[in-house]
Amino acid sequence: MPESFAQLPLQYGKITMPRAVKKAASTEFKNFQPYKPKRGEEYMNEKQREHFKAILLKWKAELMQEVDRTVSHMKDEAANFPDPADRATQEEEFSLELRTRDRERKLIKKIDSTMERIDQDDYGFCDACGVEIGIQRLEARPTASLCIDCKTLAEIKEKQELG
C-alpha cells in the first residue's frame, strides 16, 4: 500500500496524478529560515512575531498565485470536446482544481485570522489551555491555535465521535 497519493504514479505506472493535486502539494510554504531563539529570550517577542508574519504573508502570496493560475488555466483550457469521455475528463480535472482552490480559500481566511492574532499579541498560545504552542510547531503549521497536547486530545475525541 502506498504511503501517500504522490507515490502512486511511481508504484503503479499507469496511474497519473491529476495536475490539481500536484499543484496543491506545491502550495505549502517553504524556503524560510527556521527561527533560532536565543537563551533567555522571551517567547513570542516582536522578532518572533515578525518571523511568523513573514512566513504567513509568503504563504498567502503563494496561494493567491495559485488562484490566478487556476483562473487563467481554466480560461485557456476550456474547450467543448465532441467526445463525451474527453469532456468528462476535462470537467473532472476542473472540478478537482476548484475543490482544491476552495480549500485554499478557507486556508487564506485562516491565515488572515492568524495575522490578526499576531497583531493582537494573542499568537503562539493555545486557545484551550493557554500554554505556549512552541516555535517549532508554529513553523510546521503557522496557523496552529492549539498546543500539541490539546490537538491530540481533540483528534482522539473526534475519532471516538465518528467511530
* pLDDT for 70: 87
User: Helix 46-77 crosses helix 84-119 at what angle (to 10 degrees)?
Assistant: 160
Q: What is the predicted pLDDT for the residue at 26?
A: 43
Flag residues of the chain having pLDDT under 50.
1-27
**Closest to 43 in 3D by CA, of 120, 125, 114:** 125
pLDDT of residue 30: 64
Under 8 Å between Cβ of 142 and 29: yes
* pLDDT score recorded for residue 29: 56
Specify the pTM. Answer: 0.74
pLDDT at 4: 40
Quote the CA–CA distance of 81 and 72 in Å, as a whole number: 19
Which domains occur in the chain, in start order? 5-123 (1.20.120.910)
Kindly list the distances between the CA atom of residue 23 and the CA atoms of 26, 67, 96, 100, 137, in Å, as whole numbers in the listed order: 5, 11, 11, 9, 24
What are phi and psi for residue 106, nearest 5 degrees? -65, -35
Q: Are 65 and 57 in contact (CB under 8 A)?
A: no
